[in-house]
Amino acid sequence: MSRRPPLRIVEVGPRDGLQNEKSVVSTAVKVAFINRLSTTGLKEIEAGAFVRPDRVPQMADARKVFKRINRRRGVVYSALVPNERGLDAALEARADKIALFTAASETFNRRNINASIAESVERFRPVVRRAASAKLPLRAYISTAFWCPYEGRIPPRKALDVCLKLAEMGITELSIGDTIGKANPDEVRAFLGPALKKLKAPSIFLHFHDTYGMAVANALCAWEEFGISGFDSSAGGLGGCPYAPGASGNVATEDLLYAFKSSGGAVPAEPREVCAAARRLAPVLGHPLSSRLSRVLR
Amino acid sequence: MSRRPPLRIVEVGPRDGLQNEKSVVSTAVKVAFINRLSTTGLKEIEAGAFVRPDRVPQMADARKVFKRINRRRGVVYSALVPNERGLDAALEARADKIALFTAASETFNRRNINASIAESVERFRPVVRRAASAKLPLRAYISTAFWCPYEGRIPPRKALDVCLKLAEMGITELSIGDTIGKANPDEVRAFLGPALKKLKAPSIFLHFHDTYGMAVANALCAWEEFGISGFDSSAGGLGGCPYAPGASGNVATEDLLYAFKSSGGAVPAEPREVCAAARRLAPVLGHPLSSRLSRVLR
């Protein structure tokens, strides 16, 4: 079997991307963005989050977004939820998949969601149970899995422990996040080496931010050396790093597609098409897109 | 011996960077830029080119620039020259080192300097001889060594043949250019594998453009897997790709420094300091810098 499997992308632009943009984007623009993305060949789009609107105003219209999008056959429209109440909303909105979130750093988790890692994982249980009975697939985000803005470097073992707890709970897809974009290929290797002895490669998604320009190198390393095929990214490189104002956001989907396609990988969508979907947002966001490809096509 | 030697940078922002910027930058600004760069710890700065001013207006004041810079002890101020006439000017300007240029693509070389590769290499001979007798170190640029905008993919053997001719001629430093920024790590491997059987690693510099966001991945691959320590880069990611208007330019020195420092490499300068030197140019250039770090520090 090839060490370089076809690329699987979870497009997080409409959620993680927009959530970290200052401009509040209208429902109509979000819906058009998601609809356009779903024509590119991307197979999964995180379309919104059912979270407290006072905490995350950008996601306040998630119900409307889910209601108004044109659902394309074969595309999974997922939703981030923090708890059972979020799950209720996601079920009502007919989300195809649910994403939960915790962290590998205690301090980060405490500051982000006011819970210890163990507490947040315990809160997952009823959500996991109900999602399972509704036959909804689940993913979990493990943020600050490499570096934490408060604790610094996170030992790989600590991130892996969180992953293993979530896997034991029945969560079959884990998104390992480099929330502040500080990871390098050695740190990716240090995590994946031990992790792949306990977890299967297809269950692992890597979620890189391009704060310092390391995301493509990290992703190629994971794919070439460990056969990891799952990555999160945002069209246009939407978003930012909440701990580095102005910084680049999630690695741009088009730059990741370019890198893998260029390196002989099978990719689900054409880089240009994804970039084109994001370019329509630029006037609304008030800044140019941060992806490399968007500069070439500008 | 470590496979990961200390990083050596040839800072090409004042030459390759500015040459590909639309705004013509004043002599005073160039001098201040070079002076600032030379305080960062960078050991070599390509300060200008002695080329036809009607062809490259941005370099028309190279004599003045070389005259007015404060030469810092231990820093090499190099100059690009196309021929003996350029060499005369460089000698008069007291350049510390000379850079010549050819290409690995016949079509590109023909269109760029109206000569076959063999012709352009032959034209080097008198320059090499005179530079040697003046004890001036020499480097040669081999552009389009991976991809050509006209010919497409360049076979590694073809690029290596040009390198070997130049090495036989006594040129001890070769800068292998991915002029349009299309190379990927596999193509870097395909070149370096055979090349290192014929050439010594310290004689090889890699010159990546970040057009599609591949430069950091390529550089780390060359360093981690082949022990290549020499890279060209431009502060701020100045410049562009003449075949992709608006695209990112040379890989940003600060992003490269960040990547290597983060990965445990010894680096000659602090990423922030180099970025700070380039940031002063942004108002003159009329566009924000393209480096990732410049966004974080903005």
Interchain proximity B259–A213, CB inside 8 Å: yes
Q: Contacts of residue A248 in chain B, CB cutoff 8 Å?
A: 292, 295
Q: For the segment A68-122, what is each residue's pLDDT rounded down to a tens digit?
A: 999 999 999 999 999 999 999 999 999 999 999 999 999 999 998 899 999 999 9
Helices (H), ranges, chain A: 18-19, 27-38, 62-68, 84-92, 106-113, 117-133, 156-168, 185-198, 215-226, 253-262, 271-279, 282-285, 292-297
Instruction: Give residue A298's pLDDT band: very low, low, confident or very high (50, 70, 90).
Output: confident
User: Do A258 and A272 form a contact (C-beta atoms < 8 A)?
Assistant: no
Pairing of strands A152-153, A147-148: antiparallel
* Nearest one of A10, A9, A11 to A236, comparing CA atoms: A11
What proportion of chain B, given as a percentage, has pLDDT over 70? 99
Instruction: Give residue A139's pLDDT band: very low, low, confident or very high (50, 70, 90).
Output: very high
Distance from CA of A129 to the nearest CA of B (A): 41
Interchain proximity B292–A211, CB inside 8 Å: yes
Residue type, B205: F
Pairing of strands B44-49, B152-153: unpaired
d(CA A132, CA B6): 52
User: Do B33 and B14 form a contact (C-beta atoms < 8 A)?
Assistant: yes
Q: Contacts of residue A263 in chain B, CB cutoff 8 Å?
A: 184-186
Closest-CA residue of B relative to A257 is: B212
pLDDT at A103: 97
pLDDT at B1: 39
pLDDT at A44: 98
* A212, A264, A292 member nearest B293 (Cβ): A212
Which tokens is B35 given? 């002076």
Interchain proximity B258–A291, CB inside 8 Å: no
Q: For the segment B275-295, what is each residue's pLDDT rounded down to a tens digit?
A: 999 999 999 999 999 999 999
* B186, B262, B298 member nearest A263 (Cβ): B186
Distance from CA of A256 to the nearest CA of B (A): 9
* Nearest one of A212, A219, A232, A182 to A43, comparing CA atoms: A232
Distance from CA of A210 to the nearest CA of B (A): 8
Chain B residues whose C-beta sits inside 8 Å of any chain A C-beta: 182, 184-186, 210-214, 216-217, 220-221, 224, 241, 244, 246-248, 252, 255, 258-259, 262-264, 290-293, 295-296, 298
Q: Contacts of residue B252 in chain A, CB cutoff 8 Å?
A: 213
Coil, strand or helix: which one is B147? strand
Q: Tokens 């984007």 identify what position?
A: A25
pLDDT at A3: 80
Average pLDDT across chain A, whole number? 95
Average pLDDT, integer, range B237-263: 91
Interchain proximity B292–A248, CB inside 8 Å: yes
Q: Is the pLDDT of residue B223 over 80?
A: yes
d(CA B274, CA B148): 30
Q: Is the pLDDT of residue B193 over 70?
A: yes
* Nearest one of B165, B157, B163, B114 to B141, comparing CA atoms: B163
d(CA B175, CA B168): 15
Helices (H), ranges, B184-229: 185-198, 215-226
Interchain proximity B217–A259, CB inside 8 Å: yes
pLDDT at B245: 77
Average pLDDT, integer, range B117-144: 96
Distance from CA of A254 to the nearest CA of B (A): 9
Instruction: Give residue A244's pLDDT band: very low, low, confident or very high (50, 70, 90).
Output: confident
pLDDT at A240: 86
Interchain proximity B258–A224, CB inside 8 Å: no
User: Do B83 and B123 form a contact (C-beta atoms < 8 A)?
Assistant: yes
User: Do B166 and B124 form a contact (C-beta atoms < 8 A)?
Assistant: yes
d(CA B14, CA B234): 8
* Nearest one of A58, A8, A59, A65 to A34, comparing CA atoms: A65
Element (H, E) at A147: strand A147-148
Q: Is the pLDDT of residue A2 over 70?
A: no
Q: Is the pLDDT of residue A1 over 60?
A: no
pLDDT at B240: 86
Q: Is the pLDDT of residue A243 over 80?
A: no
d(CA A140, CA A204): 10
pTM: 0.96
| CB atoms near residue A225 (< 10 Å) | 15
Instruction: Give residue A248's pLDDT band: very low, low, confident or very high (50, 70, 90).
Output: confident
Which tokens is A184 given? 């390098």
Does residue B163 have an active-site annotation? no
In order, the DSSP letters of B166-189 are: HHHTT--EEEEEETTS---HHHHH
Q: Is the pLDDT of residue B101 over 50?
A: yes
Distance from CA of B126 to the nearest CA of A (A): 39
Element (H, E) at A66: helix A62-68
Which tokens is A183 given? 């990871």
d(CA A33, CA B275): 34
Instruction: Give residue A9's pLDDT band: very low, low, confident or very high (50, 70, 90).
Output: very high
Q: Tokens 């910027």 identify what position?
A: B21
Q: Is the pLDDT of residue B9 over 80?
A: yes
* Nearest one of B112, B83, B80, B82 to B98, comparing CA atoms: B80
Cα dihedral angle (A154, A156, A157, A159), rounded to 10 degrees?
A: 70
Closest-CA residue of A relative to B252 is: A213
Q: Which range, of A239-253, B116-130, B249-263, averages the lowest pLDDT? A: A239-253
Residue B244 is given by DSSP the state B
Interchain proximity A290–B291, CB inside 8 Å: no
* Nearest one of A105, A114, A208 to A152, comparing CA atoms: A105
Distances (CA, A) of B101 to A268, B54, B144, B155, B239: 40, 19, 11, 19, 18
User: Do B206 and B188 form a contact (C-beta atoms < 8 A)?
Assistant: yes
User: Do B85 and B51 form a contact (C-beta atoms < 8 A)?
Assistant: no
d(CA B248, CA B225): 26
Residue B101 is given by DSSP the state E
Interchain proximity B298–A246, CB inside 8 Å: yes
What proportion of chain A, given as a percentage, has pLDDT over 70? 99
pLDDT at A20: 92
Interchain proximity B212–A290, CB inside 8 Å: no
* B185, B246, B262 member nearest A220 (Cβ): B185
Instruction: Give residue A246's pLDDT band: very low, low, confident or very high (50, 70, 90).
Output: confident
Q: Is the pLDDT of residue B2 over 90?
A: no
User: Do A214 and A208 form a contact (C-beta atoms < 8 A)?
Assistant: yes
Catalytic residues of A: 241
| CB atoms near residue A29 (< 10 Å) | 16
Chain A residues whose C-beta sits inside 8 Å of any chain B C-beta: 182, 184-186, 210-214, 216-217, 220-221, 224, 241, 244, 246-248, 252, 255, 258-259, 262-264, 290-293, 295-296, 298
In order, the DSSP letters of B113-124 are: HSS-HHHHHHHH
Interchain proximity A216–B217, CB inside 8 Å: yes
d(CA B108, CA A46): 44
d(CA A29, CA B208): 37
Dmax of chain A from CA atoms? 49
d(CA B122, CA B88): 18
| CB atoms near residue A120 (< 10 Å) | 22
Q: For the segment B38-87, what is each residue's pLDDT rounded down to a tens digit?
A: 999 999 999 999 999 999 999 999 999 999 999 999 999 999 999 999 99
* B220, B247, B264 member nearest A295 (Cβ): B247
Element (H, E) at B129: helix B117-133
The alpha carbon dihedral of B77, B83, B87, B89 has a sign of negative
Interchain proximity A217–B220, CB inside 8 Å: yes
Q: For the segment A11-38, what is each residue's pLDDT rounded down to a tens digit?
A: 999 999 999 999 999 999 999 999 999 9
CATH numbers and ranges of domains, chain B: 8-297 (3.20.20.70)
Which tokens is A295 given? 């500069």
